[in-house]
Amino acid sequence: MKTISAEEIRCRAKELGADLCGIASVERFDDAPPGFHPTDVALGCKSVIVLAARFPSSTLAASSQAAYTFVRNRLVDRIDSITVQISSELEQLGYCAVPIPSSDPYDYWDDSRRHGQGILSLKHAAVRAGLGHMGKNTLLVNDELGNMLWLGAVLIDKELEPDLIAGYQTCNPDCRICLDSCPANALDGTTIDQRKCRGVSAKYTEGGGGVYACNLCRKLCPQNKGIK
Ligand code: B12
């Protein structure tokens, strides 16, 4: 087996087009509820490599939600291509490396609550890899990119030097902008009611496909482009 360092992985991720890359040791997930731990996905996981791509914020200024949705869909392809490529390269070096889908597919779906669950929560993984903290809208906020980023991850069976947990704070304690602006009243400051959110954000037309019709919790956040 050829050995690889955390730094080499970070450089490769950036070469492939990631804007951010952070690494978490699996011990940082000790507080994860059952079913949400990286070893529930890959038994031998020792480190979680988390990547992020910048989500162009000009899309928030467009009057049509199609531009935002189009960019979101291309970022799914881009981040997923990077995590699949990194996993393949790590596997060729002799490691077991499992890429996490940045969106679909996932196994768990509760139709009665319209509640889905990714095979690993990428926001929680990003916090533990030093990429930021979650805001009241439940989204990850990074100091440089704000909440305008798209996440991906790779689980690897190698201990790697982890990044430091982000030292900055998100959300002014008095701020309620995302909570008060949600048209579905889906946010309570720590969790989201998926049924309510999906009711206003997922729109389909027979001819035009699907659009994300609401992103107000992201758009109106004073930290959406970074932490001043
Ligand atoms: C399902 C899903 C949704 C659902 C639910 C969102 C949610 N907040 O969970 C819906 C349809 C509502 C949704 C909407 C959106 N989404 Co979405 N979504 C996902 C997806 C595919 C899975 C998330 C998931 O599993 N949620 C279910 C679980 C984790 O949530 P939960 O049951 O509340 O979990 C609790 C506990 O189980 C526990 N827990 C869970 N894991 C862990 C781990 C540890 C260590 C600990 C301690 C605790 C813990 O803590 C939670 C709170 O109590 C992720 C991709 C991914 N794999 O992460 C993208 C993702 C979260 N979505 C994303 C985005 C951008 C959006 C939208 C902005 C899209 C839009 N409309 O424009 C909105 C934002 C709405 C919002 N404020 O969250 C991004 C977020 C980027 C960021 N900056 O954070 C992600 C990460 C996709 C990506 N690859 O970047 N989404």
Q: Mean of the per-residue pLDDT values for the chain?
A: 96
- pLDDT (tens digit per residue) in 60-78: 999 999 999 999 999 999 9
- pLDDT (tens digit per residue) in 134-173: 999 999 999 999 999 999 999 999 999 999 999 999 999 9
Q: Which atom of ligand 1 is nearest to the CA of 149?
A: 83
Please say if the pLDDT value at position 103 is more than 80.
yes
| Length of the chain counted residue by residue | 228
Residue 227 lies in a domain: no
The DSSP call for residue 59 is G
- pLDDT (tens digit per residue) in 170-223: 999 999 999 999 999 999 999 999 999 999 999 988 888 899 999 999 999 999
How large a percentage of the chain has pLDDT more than 90?
95
How far does residue 94's CA lie from ligand 1's centre (Å)? 32
How far does residue 139's CA lie from ligand 1's centre (Å)? 7
Please say if the pLDDT value at position 1 is more than 80.
no
Domain range spanning residue 160?
A: 6-219
Ligand 1 pocket (Cβ < 6 Å) reads 29, 31-33, 36, 102-103, 116-118, 120-124, 137-140, 147, 149-151, 191-192, 194, 197-198, 201, 212, 214-215, 217-218
Residue 141 lies in a domain: yes
CATH code at position 213: 3.40.109
Would you say 98 and 155 are in contact if contact means Cβ atoms under 8 Å apart?
yes
Residue 82 lies in a domain: yes
Residue 226 lies in a domain: no
The secondary structure of the chain in percent helix, strand, coil, rounded to multiples of 5, reads 35, 20, 45
Question: For residues 180 and 38, what is the distance between their CA atoms, to the nearest angstrom?
Answer: 34
The DSSP call for residue 58 is G
